[in-house]
């Protein structure tokens, strides 16, 4: 299949808002893929590439988009995928050298489309979720069966390839496999401790740490560490490997967090710890300057047995035996009442953590699921920002202004600088209000975005401040979401970058 055919299919998806029609378009596309095109093709139609992050900057891709076109055969789905494999393993300027020949054989529209795939920014209103629905309908297995296969082997391309090769029988083989990471179970956000205990009792409460989620697989001395996005991070954390190898088991899969410590043994902010997850070089230096310890809170597999269907009470007991040293387990307690849980929350915040997680003792481990089994309650701050731009939504938000560009006042109190983007927290009423009113303040528009003069103020909740080279403020808000529109505030009354600097220092140990 030619890339031009793939792009045409994407254009069809962009033009329809009907979910059923989108699914029909995807099914038709899937049926046209040859055996070697299935894995990359499924990822492409979901709006992304199979290889993940290529570490190719915008400067290189921008240059390639302007390169002179040459005559040649059309680029195929398989050829692009093969080239992207080579780019993934290449370094420096070799990446551009590998990409240039295929870009020379693309027209301008196709170049823009491929760049969108590389950055995961193909706005077509159809992502993995809709592709899984299409696979479920095409296979006749149903959405739930496909979801169960995916959660334990979360590669949508391999999933469809397996169905094509082995048929529906793969639905019966969903056991955990060592060194094949699965999606982590997620906690639902709750407004308060009291809200949780209105519906639940018989729980455990744990500190919610500001670390890096890790899933660790061990088979004898072989240990591998995976991120929440299922990327192999083993090389980054040799200090954790030694801890896991010392545990009194032969095989296990552990769920937990990697937590960084300062020289006094206090937990350091995520931003500082994140430096260890993004750099392969200078590991020994990082181990000395940013020591890391694991904090385990769940056990999923033990010496050949999948224990995800056991209750959390049982898994907790087994975890305590597998990890006997409390130093490597998340602090946990069984509250007798909400007052004791509230005290535990305050204790966690005082220790530099994000808050607490409340877990039902009879809950099973559900990979990739967020439901009323685990609840997280976090300390949050709010600031007032101005809207600098808004992007047109897609999927359910097609035709509405959604992703907001957020700004604060600079040091002079005259200009505005950007501190992030968010589409979270927006109600249908907010979406409609922004769509109806923001265009009145437009100063510039392109295909995707309406840029506006600073006139509308919003209250933003967030969970920390990160330094950033992406935004002109030098900072970005972590997990920003809209609380409300501040009709009562003028843009001149919002927070400034000086406030952001103070907040950043408050969460930094250095």
Other residues' Cβ atoms within 10 Å of the Cβ of residue 46? 24
Residue from 48, 183, 208, 359 carrying the catalytic annotation: 208
User: Contact, 452 vs 445, CB < 8 A?
Assistant: no
Q: Within 215-337, where are the H helices? A: 238-245, 270-273, 275-278, 283-289, 312-322
Q: Using alpha carbons, select from 454, 424, 450 the residue that is nearest to residue 439.
A: 450
Q: Which residues pair with 466 in a beta bridge?
A: 476
Cα dihedral 475→478→484→486 (10° resolution): -10
Q: Which residues pair with 477 in a beta bridge?
A: 465
Say how far apart CA 408 and CA 458 lie, in whole Å. Answer: 11
Lookup result for tokens 């795939």: 117
Residue 79's contacts (CB-CB under 8 Å, 6 or more residues apart) are 102
Residues in the chain: 510
Question: Half-sphere exposure (CA, 13 Å, Cβ side) for 31?
Answer: 10
Question: Is 208 an annotated catalytic residue?
Answer: yes
Residue 162's contacts (CB-CB under 8 Å, 6 or more residues apart) are 149, 170
User: Contact, 241 vs 234, CB < 8 A?
Assistant: yes
> Taking CA 130 as the corner, what is the angle to CA 127 and CA 136, rounded to the nearest 5 degrees?
140
Say how far apart CA 22 and CA 124 lie, in whole Å. Answer: 10
Counting beta carbons within 10 angstroms of the beta carbon of residue 365, is it exposed (0 to 12), middle (13 to 18) or buried (19 or more)?
A: buried
Say how far apart CA 39 and CA 492 lie, in whole Å. Answer: 52
Q: Using alpha carbons, select from 170, 127, 149 the residue that is nearest to residue 10.
A: 127
Residue 101's contacts (CB-CB under 8 Å, 6 or more residues apart) are none
Lookup result for tokens 């299919």: 9
To the nearest 10 degrees (0 to 180), the angle between helices 108-119 and 58-65 is 170
- Helix or strand or coil: residue 144? helix
Q: Using alpha carbons, select from 314, 311, 328, 305 the residue that is nearest to residue 247.
A: 328
Residues with a catalytic annotation lie at 208
């Amino acid at each position: 299949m030619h890339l031009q055919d793939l792009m045409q299919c994407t254009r069809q998806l962009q033009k329809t808002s009907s979910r059923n029609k989108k699914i029909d378009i995807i099914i038709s596309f899937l049926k046209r893929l040859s055996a070697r095109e299935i894995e990359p093709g499924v990822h492409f139609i979901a709006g992304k590439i199979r290889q993940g992050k290529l570490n190719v900057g915008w400067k290189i891709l921008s240059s390639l988009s302007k390169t002179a076109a040459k005559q040649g055969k059309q680029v195929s789905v398989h050829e692009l995928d093969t080239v992207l494999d080579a780019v993934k393993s290449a370094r420096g300027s070799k990446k551009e050298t590998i990409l240039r020949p295929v870009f020379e054989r693309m027209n301008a529209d196709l170049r823009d489309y491929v760049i969108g795939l590389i950055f995961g920014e193909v706005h077509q209103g159809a992502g993995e979720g809709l592709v899984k629905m299409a696979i479920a309908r095409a296979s006749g297995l149903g959405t739930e069966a496909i979801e169960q296969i995916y959660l334990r082997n979360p590669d949508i391309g391999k999933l469809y390839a397996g169905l094509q090769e082995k048929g529906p029988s793969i639905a019966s083989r969903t056991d955990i496999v060592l060194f094949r990471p699965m999606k982590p179970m997620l906690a639902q956000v709750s407004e308060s401790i009291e809200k949780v205990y209105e519906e639940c009792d018989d729980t455990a409460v744990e500190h919610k740490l500001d670390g890096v989620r890790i899933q660790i697989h061990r088979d004898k001395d072989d240990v591998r560490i995976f991120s929440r996005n299922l990327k192999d991070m083993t090389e980054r954390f040799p200090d954790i490997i030694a801890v896991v190898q010392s545990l009194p088991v032969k095989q296990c899969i552990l769920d937990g967090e990697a937590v960084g410590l300062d020289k006094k043994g206090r937990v350091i902010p995520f931003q500082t710890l994140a430096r260890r997850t993004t750099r392969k070089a200078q590991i020994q230096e990082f181990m000395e300057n940013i020591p890391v310890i694991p904090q385990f809170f769940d056990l999923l597999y033990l010496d050949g047995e999948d224990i995800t269907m056991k209750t959390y009470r049982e898994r907790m007991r087994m975890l305590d035996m597998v990890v006997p040293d409390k130093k490597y387990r998340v602090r946990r307690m069984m509250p007798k009442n909400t007052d004791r849980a509230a005290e535990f929350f305050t204790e966690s915040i005082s220790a530099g953590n994000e808050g607490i997680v409340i877990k039902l003792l009879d809950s099973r481990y559900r990979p990739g699921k967020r439901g009323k089994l685990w609840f997280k309650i976090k300390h949050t701050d709010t600031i007032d920002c101005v809207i600098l731009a808004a992007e047109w939504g897609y999927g359910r938000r097609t035709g509405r202004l959604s992703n907001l560009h957020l700004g604060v006042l600079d040091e002079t109190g005259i200009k505005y600088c950007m501190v992030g983007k968010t589409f979270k927290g927006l109600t249908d009423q907010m979406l409609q209000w922004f769509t109806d009113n923001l265009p009145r303040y437009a100063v510039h528009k392109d295909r995707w975005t309406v840029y506006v003069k600073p006139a509308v103020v919003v209250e933003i909740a967030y969970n920390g401040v990160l330094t950033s080279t992406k935004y002109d403020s030098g900072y970005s808000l972590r997990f920003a979401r809209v609380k409300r529109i501040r009709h009562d505030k003028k843009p001149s009354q919002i927070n400034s970058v000086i406030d952001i600097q103070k907040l950043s220092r408050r969460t930094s140990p250095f």
